[in-house]
């Protein structure tokens, strides 16, 4: 738990100044666990380890003007992860990092997103230019839920 508190304190001190946007991670009670600055036109990625294939997959989001975010693309090291776990509207193609990528089959815009941050999935928040935030290290097994939202801008 000490490691989680240190990680949260470090992440919180990275916050941008003024009206800069940040990706904010809270627990269900609203306690801020991490705040990561994000470029005005930027986005973020939630990366996790697929438990069946034991490979990495990612959900990539872009920030929208209304203050929320939109699912922009899906990616995975193994093609089967995209084919079996996601609804995609086009054939996946090899993309960055030699991963398979595809756009989602549906439009998904959110103000916040609740995810399970367990050590099994090792869900990690990635924002360009910022250190990764290992979400599962910020919470315990008894309450692994975190809520991701956008602040500022």
Q: What is the pLDDT of residues 42-64, one digit of tens each?
A: 899 999 999 899 999 999 999 99
Mean pLDDT of 119-131: 95
Question: What is the per-residue pLDDT across 62-119, written as a single tens digit (0 to 9) for each?
Answer: 999 878 999 999 999 999 999 888 888 899 999 778 999 999 999 999 999 999 999 9
Number of domains in the chain: 1
Residue 61: C-alpha distances to residues 105, 120, 153 (Å): 14, 22, 16
On the question of pLDDT at 13 being above 70, the answer is no
Domain with 94, as residue range(s), is 2-151
Q: What pLDDT score was predicted for residue 97? A: 80
């Amino acid at each position: 738990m000490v490691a989680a508190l240190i990680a949260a304190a470090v992440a919180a001190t990275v916050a941008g100044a003024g009206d800069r946007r940040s990706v904010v991670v809270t627990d269900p009670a609203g306690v801020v666990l991490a705040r990561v600055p994000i470029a005005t036109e930027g986005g973020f990625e939630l990366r996790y380890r697929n438990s069946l294939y034991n490979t990495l997959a990612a959900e990539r989001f872009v920030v929208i003007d209304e203050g929320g975010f939109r699912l922009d693309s899906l990616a995975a090291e193994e093609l089967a992860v995209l084919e079996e776990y996601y609804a995609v509207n086009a054939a996946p193609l090899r993309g960055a990092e030699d991963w398979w990528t595809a756009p989602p089959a549906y439009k998904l815009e959110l103000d916040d997103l609740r995810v399970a941050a367990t050590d099994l999935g090792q869900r990690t928040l990635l924002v360009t230019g910022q250190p990764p935030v290992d979400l599962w290290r910020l919470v315990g097994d008894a309450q692994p839920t975190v809520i991701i939202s956008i602040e500022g801008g």
